[in-house]
Structure 1
Amino acid sequence: MQTELRLRIISGIVLAALVLAATWYGGIAFRLLAAAISVLVYYEWSTITRLPDSDFRGNAFGWATVAGIAGLVIFGFDELALPVLIGATVASILYAFAFTKSGWLPGGIVYSGLTAISLAAIRGDSGEGFAAMIFIFAVVWATDILAYFVGRAIGGPKLAPPISPGKTWSGAIGGAVSAVIAGTLVHAAFFPLNGLWIPVIALVLSVCSQIGDLFESFIKRRFGVKDSSRLIPGHGGVMDRVDGLVFACFAAFLIALGDAIVSGAANAPAGVFLFGP
Structure 2
Amino acid sequence: MEPLEHLPKPKNSAGRDLKSAIGVGALLAGLVIAAALSGYLAWYIFVAVAAVAATWEVTARLREAGYVIPRLLLIGAGQLMVWMSLFYGTSGLVASYVTGVLALMFGRLFHHGRHSAPKNYLRDTSVGIFVLTWIPLFGSFAAMLSLLDSAVSGAYIITFILCVVASDVGGFAAGVMFGSHPMAPAVSPKKSWEGFAGSIVFGMITGALAVHFLLHYEWALGVVLGVVLVICATLGDLVESQFKRELGLKDMSAMLPGHGGLMDRLDGMLPAAMVTWLLLGVVARAAETVF
TM range (shorter): 0.7 to 0.9
Equivalent pair of 2:36/2:157 in contact (CA under 8 Å): yes
* Rounded Cα–Cα distance in structure 1 between residues aligned with 2:74 and 2:287: 33
| Match in the other structure for 2:130 | 107
| Match in the other structure for 1:22 | 35
Deviations 1:256-275 (A, max 9, x none): 67x4xxxxxxxxxxx83499
| Match in the other structure for 2:115 | none
| Match in the other structure for 1:77 | 87
Higher helix share: 1
* Rounded Cα–Cα distance in structure 2 between residues aligned with 1:223 and 1:77: 37
Deviations 1:12-50 (A, max 9, x none): 221111111111112221111110111111112212222
Of residues 124, 133, 136, the one that matches 2:157 is 133
Higher gyration radius (CA): 2
| Match in the other structure for 2:271 | 247
* Rounded Cα–Cα distance in structure 2 between residues aligned with 1:176 and 1:26: 31
> Cα offset for 1:136?
1.1
Does 1:163 pair with 2:163?
Answer: no
For residue 85 of structure 1, give the secondary structure of its aligned residue in structure 2: helix
For residue 165 of structure 1, give the secondary structure of its aligned residue in structure 2: strand
TM-score normalised by length of structure 1: 0.82
Deviations 1:70-90 (A, max 9, x none): 4546xx424323320133235
Residue identity over aligned pairs, in percent, reads: 26
Instruction: Specify every segment of 5 or more residues in structure 2 that has no aligned partner in the other structure, as ranges.
Output: 1-16, 111-117
Letter of the 1:230 partner, please give it: A
Of residues 50, 53, 69, the one that matches 1:37 is 50
| Match in the other structure for 1:10 | 23
TM-score normalised by length of structure 2: 0.78
| Match in the other structure for 2:168 | 144
* Rounded Cα–Cα distance in structure 1 between residues aligned with 2:173 and 2:18: 17
Question: Which is worse superposed, 197-206 or 91-100?
Answer: 91-100
Equivalent pair of 1:180/1:202 in contact (CA under 8 Å): yes
* Rounded Cα–Cα distance in structure 1 between residues aligned with 2:32 and 2:102: 32
Equivalent pair of 2:212/2:222 in contact (CA under 8 Å): no
Letter of the 1:149 partner, please give it: A
> Cα offset for 1:234?
3.0
Tell me the number of residue pairs that the alignment of Structure 1 and Structure 2 aligns. 259
Structure 1 residues 41, 5: CA separation in 2 closer, same or farther (over 3 Å shift)?
same
Equivalent pair of 2:183/2:192 in contact (CA under 8 Å): yes
For residue 241 of structure 2, give the secondary structure of its aligned residue in structure 1: helix
* Rounded Cα–Cα distance in structure 1 between residues aligned with 2:279 and 2:101: 20
| Match in the other structure for 2:101 | 89
